[in-house]
Each structure stands twice: as C-alpha cells, then as structure tokens.
Amino acid sequence: MTTKTPNVAVSNDEALLKLTLTLIGKWTHTASEIRNLAEEAEKRLDRIRMPNSMRKGIIATHIFKGPVARAYGYSVNGSIVTLRRAATGWRVIGFAPQRIFPQQGGELKLQIAPEQETAAVMAMWRAWGFVTKRPALPVTGEPAANPVVPAKAPISSRPELIR
C-alpha cells in the first residue's frame, strides 16, 4: 500500500487540522504547533538575512520532544513533521509517526542548498557593511595601476628541502 505525501499549506487551517488529526497523542504535533514551527523557521531565515528570492526549497524538520525524565525506560509514540518553503510560504510535505526516546527531539533543523548558504552569507556581509574588494580593470592600452607580480619561490640553502 502506498501512502500519499501531504502537500498542505501551513496557512490552510482546515487542511492542516485534518492532517494533524491522523495522529493523535501526547507527543504529536498539533496544527498550531506546526504553524509555530513555520514561523520559527521564517524567523531564523530573517536572522541570517536570507533573501526572499532564495528561500524556495528550504527543508525544515522537527521531531516532537520526547519525555524529559530519564525515568521513562521506554519510547513513546510521537510525530515528525517536514516542511518545505515554497514561493508563497511553508508547506507540510511530511507528517508521520515516530518512536521518541527520553530526551530526544525538540529541535528544528533547516536544510539549505550551498547556493542558498552563499546568498545568506553575502547578505549578512552587506548588512554589516563589508564590501568585496575587487581589482580595478585597466582601460585598454593602459597598464594596470597595481600590477600583480607573481611571488618568487623561496630560496633555500638546504638542498634536501627542494624537490
């Protein structure tokens, strides 16, 4: 039997409630908790100054926090939720049962692509006032103001160091 992958907008209250009612328990996500996770993920992206144009495709995963006390010598039935950032907002793309052990879970993890990471770092640098220093291009026919001179190889008096 194949299960259909959910693709529910976090802003769609009715569909989100219907999805969360498939798993009911003490350690499962509710619709309001999923909305809070989407807001927290968006705040984190704002904090690192991720450009809105680069947010599409980011994956957020959260496992519901298990029992805190180590007295629980067993696992409990919980849930794991996976969100994907679309152009219009966050969408639930995964909601499944998960075995949770004491002191496990409770952490929101974001997965971004390397080009998204680069965009975020460049945006942070610009916000902090850093600029990328690039050499000026020479005008045709004129030598460069600061020509780049290749470094000379170090001269060693010990021949065993030279290969």
Is 88 a domain residue? yes
**Counted domains in the chain:** 1
Q: Is residue 156 part of a domain?
A: no
Please report whether residue 79 resides in a domain: yes
Specify whether the CB–CB gap between 122 and 53 falls below 8 A.
no
Mean pLDDT by 10 residues, the chain (163 residues): 69 86 80 92 90 92 79 76 93 88 82 89 84 63 55 54 50
| Residue 101 maps to a domain | yes
Residue 24 lies in a domain: yes
CA-CA-CA-CA torsion for 32, 36, 38, 41, nearest 10 degrees?
Answer: -160
133 inside domain: no
Rg (CA), the chain: 26
Q: Which domain holds residue 83?
A: 8-127
- What per-residue confidence (pLDDT) applies to 141? 58
**Residue listed under structure tokens 């470094």:** 151
